[in-house]
Amino acid sequence: MIAAGAAFSWNPVTDWQALTSQSFMRNALIAGTIAAVLCSVVGSFVVLRGLTFAADALTHVGFAGASGAVLFGAPPVAGLLTLTLVAGTGIGVLQERLRGRDVVIGMILVGALGLGVLLLRLSSGYANQTYALLFGDILALSTRDVVVLGCAAALAVAGTVAIFRPLLFASLDEEVAESRGVPVRVLAVAFMLILAVAASAATQVIGALLAVALIVAPAASAQRLTHRPVRAVAIAVALGLAIVWVGLAIGYWLPYPASFFVTSMAAITYGVSRALGA
């Protein structure tokens, strides 16, 4: 969707140089890589815990947060992280009561989306910002955005690794995990905080409306390809990276949004894994 530095050639070396020669593209690749790793790891548990809809709602809440930040002249990533973390805590605490309450999550989702539109209308630069937040504008990320994203993602991945086994236990067999002393409620809230960071990262790469694809597609595909939990996370990360890198690269050379190519890659990956897997 931008004027490329150099035309596509079939020489991978010159293509790589072209891709990384401009700072906006370097930032985009780094942010995409961070988001792919984080979303694939976190998404594995989103799929196991059946939280796809909650993840989607969080990305929309993030849209409202980013819009609010824009209105008050703050960086969008600050509003994005703040509001998704608050909403993640809320959903985590209320999870017992929200379970199966798709209506409640759905209302939060559309409410946040509507609020975001209002907040953006109140600020200037309405159309551009709206488009960027809803559908993603990874090429517009600043170095500061990437640093904030990287730090939050590092914390979130480290947190997931730290609670990996108890979280897996609680996700597969909550009652037995609880009987063995696993703090299942604390883990549920902790995981929603981690998911909030992942939702923010995905929103920055492909926008609030499409973000859930980056969270769910790599993990759901990987779980079709292996039955071993740790291996499934590793495959999800590999697929997530492939989806983002290929999507961004195509988006670089073709005059269409990178978000479209990333989400198409995600859908194709899931379709192929369904055909190949058990």
Q: How far is the CB of 278 from another protein (least distance, A)?
A: 7
Which range of residues in 93-101, 116-124, 161-169, 238-246 is near another protein by CB under 8 A? 161-169
Q: Is 151 in the site for another protein (CB under 8 A)?
A: no
Q: Is 232 in the site for another protein (CB under 8 A)?
A: yes
CA distances, 137 to each of 178, 179, 187, 260 (Å)? 43, 46, 33, 11
Beta carbon nearer to another protein, 86 or 168: 168
**Other residues' Cβ atoms within 10 Å of the Cβ of residue 264:** 15
Please tell me the distance from the alpha carbon of residue 170 to that of residue 164, in angstroms, as a whole number.
Answer: 10
Beta carbon nearer to another protein, 101 or 165: 165
Q: Is 48 in the site for another protein (CB under 8 A)?
A: yes
Q: Does residue 247 contact residue 261 with C-beta atoms inside 8 Å?
A: yes
CA-nearest of 66, 218, 71, 217 to 148 is: 66
CA-nearest of 263, 261, 252 to 2 is: 252
Q: How far is the CB of 180 from another protein (least distance, A)?
A: 5
Size of the site for another protein (CB under 8 A): 29
Q: Give the amino acid at 119.
A: L
Please tell me the distance from the alpha carbon of residue 60 to that of residue 63, in angstroms, as a whole number.
Answer: 5
Beta carbon nearer to another protein, 50 or 114: 50
Q: Is 228 in the site for another protein (CB under 8 A)?
A: yes
Q: Is 121 in the site for another protein (CB under 8 A)?
A: no
Please tell me the distance from the alpha carbon of residue 57 to that of residue 60, in angstroms, as a whole number.
Answer: 5
Beta carbon nearer to another protein, 1 or 234: 234
- Give the one residue of 6, 118, 151, 172 binding another protein; rule: CB under 8 A: 172
Q: How far is the CB of 179 from another protein (least distance, A)?
A: 4
**Other residues' Cβ atoms within 10 Å of the Cβ of residue 11:** 10
Q: Name the site residues for another protein (rule: CB under 8 A).
A: 48, 50, 161-163, 165-166, 168-169, 172-173, 175-182, 223-224, 226-230, 232, 277-278
